[in-house]
Every structure is written in structure tokens, then in C-alpha cells.
Structure 1
Amino acid sequence: MSDFDVGNRLKTIREESGLSQRELAQRAGVTNGLVSLIERNKTSPSITSLRKILEILGMTLAEFFDSGAPAEPGKFVFRHGELTEINPGRIYRSAGAEALKALSLKRWGKQGQTNLLLLYETYEPGADTGEEAYSHEGEEGGFVIEGEMLLTVGETTELLRAGDAYLFDSRLPHRFRNVAQTRCVIVSAATPPSF
């Protein structure tokens, strides 16, 4: 999914919706320039900005990044190679590009077929979900399988180590950062699905 063309996808959906860049920007509460830059792949929007834009288009992040391949009826096992990569470099802003390259999010299950989002998250040293904390409807929880993670929820920051878990109201602004020198792996769940 690293070659996913965010700009082209957004432009196609916007045009299918019959909206100009200016109309979409105005309705979403973002600048026309931002929509233009995203569509030309000249900038990566913050997750908050992308959600605002997609909300106007009647679409979730999961639907936006979904490959569209139909799920097999009755399928309940998803092999590693079948997981959908959600390219964080295209949806998060961070202190630098290296922080985004160090983050991998893999989703299993299909959007619209489950009320639960499951992610296999890999944070290499320096990985960060962005300087801007984000929030969304629902609850979020997970287990640290390997390494350490600095988690900020609201005004509180905690260091989690392998074996630790978290669970919080995801309407609170939150941010994940790997400030250690080793990789961190987390298995997480959120409901309702936000990606």
C-alpha cells in the first residue's frame, strides 16, 4: 500500500461527488490550497484535516484506503500478506518524514463488515503519530507486545512497556511515540472503526 495515490483517489472521489476543490474546502473548513496540494501529492494532510474532508464526501478513512477487493464469505483468518497497509506518511503530520517512515499500521477485516477495527502496529525508533494529537469517536485499546511506547491521552503521558495495555475514550486527543532505541509492536482495537 506504500504506492497508494492519495491525491488521485481524493480527486476522483471529489469529482464523482460533483464538488469543486473550492466547494469541498469550504464545506470541510480547510483551505482550497490544502485540497489542491493534497490532490497533487504535494503535502500530506493531518489526520484531522483528512477526516474533515472525507466526512463531507461521506467516507471514512477505512473506505478511502480500502483496496475494494471483496471479502470472502465466512473468512475469519487473515494472513500477514493479506493485511491492508494504512500508509501513515499520507495521513499523519509529524516532526519529520523519518518519524512517519518508521511507522507501519496494518489493518485486518473489511470496512463495513465489522464494528471493530484491529491493527498490527510497528513503531521503529523515532516513530510518531504526529506533533498534533488526534481524536475520533469511540474507544481504543491495545497491548504492547514488544518494546516501549510513550502514550499521551489528554494531558497525561505514560510510558508503556511490553506486557502493558491501554484503554481510553478516543474522543480525547491522543498521540503515540516511540522514544526508545528499539522497535515497538502493538496490537490494538478500536470501535467503531476509524480507518
Structure 2
Amino acid sequence: MDIGKKIKNLRLKKGLTQEELGERTDLSKGYISQLERDLSSPSIETFFHILEVLGCSPKEFFDEQAREQKVVYNEEDQTDYYDEEKGYNIQWLVPESNEKEMEPVKLVLQKGGAFKEFEPSLAETFGYVLKGSVVIQLGKRTYFAKAGEAIYFHASETHQIINDSDGPSELILTVTESYL
């Protein structure tokens, strides 16, 4: 079992540097580095304290089955929301994706439909137009994308996606977590 590698992965998931983990556990950055490279072994007390700071129980840490990540998501995993007034349907393709680094969705805009307007953030948005065509309003600028084209932008300005087709338009969108 690679205890050091697991500690490092937990630290990275928490977005902590070795120095930050060291500060929170009263350990040196050098010692954290040695632990992560399996060059040193912590006492049980130190190990439990590191896990506590990283938000992981000992059972979760050692339970291989619980650590297995889900890779394939099917239709039963997906959830939908339809906004009749604005003319769009959004389908979350991965459950609890709003708690992850990326949030992939399928967006269907009816004729004349518009997805809600978003305020500026630090998020990034990637999209691929599957069907129809859309207008992307990003601040005071307007961009057009049609089926087979990709979109990518930093959400640093107010932004909205609007159907620009005579029928429905479909997109796959992936938005990164916003740190505002």
C-alpha cells in the first residue's frame, strides 16, 4: 500500500501545498515531503492528525473498495430540469458534478430559448454544439457557433447562451468550478 502516495493525492484534492499541510498539522514541509515519498513513516497519532486535516477517516483511507472512482455514468445517473418560460432543458450528466472541478451538462434550447444569464466569475466554459446554432453573449461582444463547432471562454464578464436556430439547438457544456 502506497501510504505516501495516498496522502499526497488527498492533499492535492484538498488544494493544499505541502507547506500548508505542514502548517495545519504542526509538521515541516520537508517531513510532509518525506511522508509522501514513503521515505518516512508517521506515528499513529501523527497519521490520524494528517487524515483529520485532510478530511478523511482511517476507514476511508484504507478501504480500497470505497476509494474506487466511478468512471461510467448512465441515464439513471442523470438529472433534468426544464424551464418552460425561458425555453431550455438542462441535463446534468454526472451526479453531484457541482461539487467537482468540472460540471458537464447537456443543454437543449427550444426555438427562441435562452439559458439563464450568468454573472462574471473565475470559471471557464467549454461547449460543443451538437445541433442547431447559438449566440454567445459575453459582455458587450456577441459570438455565433453552429453544429460541429466548439466554444471556449473565461466567464470574466456577464454571459448568456441563446438559441439562434429555427428549431431546437443542443450543446454539451462543461464549466469549471468558480472560485469567487
Task: Give the TM-score, by structure 2 length.
Answer: 0.54
The alignment of Structure 1 onto Structure 2 pairs a total of residues equal to 113
Quote the residue 1:121 is aligned against. Answer: 107
Coordinate RMSD, CA, aligned? 2.6
Question: What SS class does the counterpart of residue 143 from structure 2 fall into?
Answer: strand
Task: Give me the whole-angstrom Cα distance separating, in 2, the residues matched to 1:183 and 1:151.
Answer: 16
Quote the residue 1:144 is aligned against. Answer: 129
1:178 alignment partner, one of 141, 163, 172: 163
Task: Give me the whole-angstrom Cα distance separating, in 1, the residues matched to 2:125 and 2:167.
Answer: 24
Task: Give me the whole-angstrom Cα distance separating, in 1, the residues matched to 2:95 and 2:173.
Answer: 13
Quote the residue 2:70 is aligned against. Answer: 75
In structure 2, stretches of 5+ residues that fail to align are: 1-65
Report the alpha carbon displacement of residue 73 of structure 1 after superposing the two structures with TM.
Answer: 5.0
Quote the residue 1:169 is aligned against. Answer: 154
Task: Give me the whole-angstrom Cα distance separating, in 2, the residues matched to 1:111 and 1:164.
Answer: 24
Task: Give me the whole-angstrom Cα distance separating, in 1, the residues matched to 2:140 and 2:131.
Answer: 25
Question: What SS class does the counterpart of residue 150 from structure 1 fall into?
Answer: strand
Quote the residue 2:62 is aligned against. Answer: none
In 2, are the aligned partners of 1:178 and 1:184 still within 8 Å (CA)? yes
Report the alpha carbon displacement of residue 111 of structure 1 after superposing the two structures with TM.
Answer: 4.1
Task: Give me the whole-angstrom Cα distance separating, in 1, the residues matched to 2:67 and 2:108.
Answer: 27
Report the alpha carbon displacement of residue 136 of structure 1 after superposing the two structures with TM.
Answer: 2.7
In 2, are the aligned partners of 1:109 and 1:117 still within 8 Å (CA)? no
Task: Give the TM-score, by structure 1 length.
Answer: 0.50
Report the alpha carbon displacement of residue 135 of structure 1 after superposing the two structures with TM.
Answer: 2.8
Task: Give me the whole-angstrom Cα distance separating, in 2, the residues matched to 1:171 and 1:147.
Answer: 26
Task: Give me the whole-angstrom Cα distance separating, in 1, the residues matched to 2:141 and 2:99.
Answer: 34
Task: Give me the whole-angstrom Cα distance separating, in 1, the residues matched to 2:102 and 2:151.
Answer: 16
In structure 1, stretches of 5+ residues that fail to align are: 1-70, 90-96
Q: 1:83 to 1:193 in 2, by over 3 A?
A: farther
Task: Give me the whole-angstrom Cα distance separating, in 2, the residues matched to 1:193 and 1:77.
Answer: 25
Q: Which amino acid aligns with 1:74?
A: Q
In 1, are the aligned partners of 2:98 and 2:177 still within 8 Å (CA)? no
Q: Which amino acid aligns with 2:172?
A: V
Report the alpha carbon displacement of residue 133 of structure 1 after superposing the two structures with TM.
Answer: 5.0
Runs of 4+ in structure 1 deviating by more than 6 angstroms, as ranges, are none
